[in-house]
Amino acid sequence: MKKFSMLINAADVRSHIAPEIYGHFSEHLGRCIYNGIYVGENSPIPNVRGIRSDIVEAFKNIKMPLLRWPGGCFADEYHWKDGIGEKSQRKKMVNTNWGGVTEDNSFGTHEFMDLCEQVGCQPYIAGNVGSGTVQELAEWVEYITFDGISPMADLRRKNGREKPWKLKYLGIGNENWGCGGSMRPEYYADVYRRFQSFCKNYSGNELFKIACGPSSSDYNWTEVMMKNLGEWHAKAISLHYYALRDWNNKGKAAEFTDEQYYELMNTANYMDELITRHTQIMDRYDPENKIGLAVDEWGTWYDVEEGTNPGFLYQQNTMRDAMVAALTLNIFNRHSGRVVMANLAQAVNVLQALVLTEGEKMVKTPTYHVFDLYKEHQGGEAVYCWSENEQMAGGAPMLSTSASVKDGVLTITAANCSMSEPAEINCGINGFAAASVKARILTGAARDLNDFDCPEKLTIKPLEAKLENGVLKAELPPCSAAEIRIFAE
Ligand code: AHR
Alpha-carbon distance of 79 to 91, in angstroms, equals 10
Q: Is 272 helix (H, G, I), strand (E, B) or coil?
A: helix
Q: Whose CA is nearest to atom 9 of ligand 1?
A: 72
pLDDT at 131: 98
pLDDT value at residue 354 = 98
175 pocket-lining for ligand 1 (C-beta < 6 Å): yes
| pLDDT (0 to 100) of residue 230 | 83
14 C-alpha to center of ligand 1: Å? 32
Residue nearest atom 8 in ligand 1 by C-alpha distance: 72
Q: Ligand 1, closest atom to CA 299?
A: 1
71 CB within 6 A, ligand 1: yes
19 lines ligand 1 (CB under 6 A): no
**72: Cβ below 6 Å to ligand 1?**
yes
> What is the per-residue DSSP string for 64-92?
--EEEES-SGGGGG--GGGGSS-GGGPPP
Name which residue sits closest to atom 6 of ligand 1, judged by CA: 72
Evaluate: CB of 73 within 6 angstroms of ligand 1.
Answer: yes
The confidence score (pLDDT) of residue 97 equals: 97
Could you tell me where the DSSP H helices lie in 120-247?
134-145, 151-158, 185-197, 219-228
> Does residue 77 line the site of ligand 1, with CB under 6 A?
no
pLDDT at 231: 79
Cα–ligand 1 centroid distance for 264 (angstroms): 19
Test site for ligand 1: of 26, 179, 343, 348, most ligand atoms within 8 A of the Cβ? 179
CA distance 435 to 57: 33
Query: Would you give per-residue pLDDT tens digits along the chain (489 residues)?
Result: 999 999 999 999 999 999 999 999 999 999 999 999 999 999 999 999 999 999 999 999 999 999 999 999 999 999 999 999 999 999 999 999 999 999 999 999 999 999 999 999 999 999 999 999 999 999 999 999 999 999 999 999 999 999 999 999 999 999 999 999 999 999 999 999 999 999 999 999 999 999 999 999 999 999 999 999 987 789 999 999 999 999 999 999 999 999 999 999 999 999 999 999 999 999 999 999 999 999 999 999 999 999 999 999 999 999 999 999 999 999 999 999 999 999 999 999 999 999 999 999 999 999 999 999 999 999 999 999 999 999 999 899 999 999 999 999 999 999 999 999 999 999 999 999 999 999 999 999 999 999 999 999 999 999 999 999 989 999 999 999 999 999 997
List residues with catalytic annotation: 175, 297
- Nearest-CA residue for atom 4 of ligand 1: 72
Rounded CA-CA distance 458/78 in Å is 38
User: Which of 401, 422, 424 is closest to 413 using CA atoms?
Assistant: 401
Distances (CA, A) of 488 to 6, 231, 359, 386: 19, 39, 46, 21
* Helix ranges, 286-400 (H): 319-334, 366-374
Biggest alpha carbon distance in the chain?
69
Q: Is 444 helix (H, G, I), strand (E, B) or coil?
A: coil
Ligand 1 center to residue 358 CA distance, Å? 23
Q: What's the confidence (pLDDT) of residue 393?
A: 94
Whole-angstrom distance, CA of residue 176 vs CA of residue 178: 5
Which ligand 1 atom sits nearest the alpha carbon of residue 98? 6
Shortest-distance atom of ligand 1 to CA 72: 6
Q: How far is CA 291 from CA 23, 278, 344, 405, 444, in A?
A: 18, 12, 21, 24, 39
Say what the pLDDT of residue 3 is: 97
Residue of 31, 76, 297 to mutate, ligand 1, most atoms within 8 A of C-beta: 297
* Angle, alpha carbons 374-376-379 (nearest 5°): 115
pLDDT attached to residue 436: 96
Q: How many CB atoms lie within 10 A of CB 184?
A: 12
- The CA–CA distances, whole Å, from 177 to 35, 303, 391, 405 equal 30, 24, 35, 39
Q: Cα–Cα distance between 173 and 76 in angstroms, integer?
A: 6
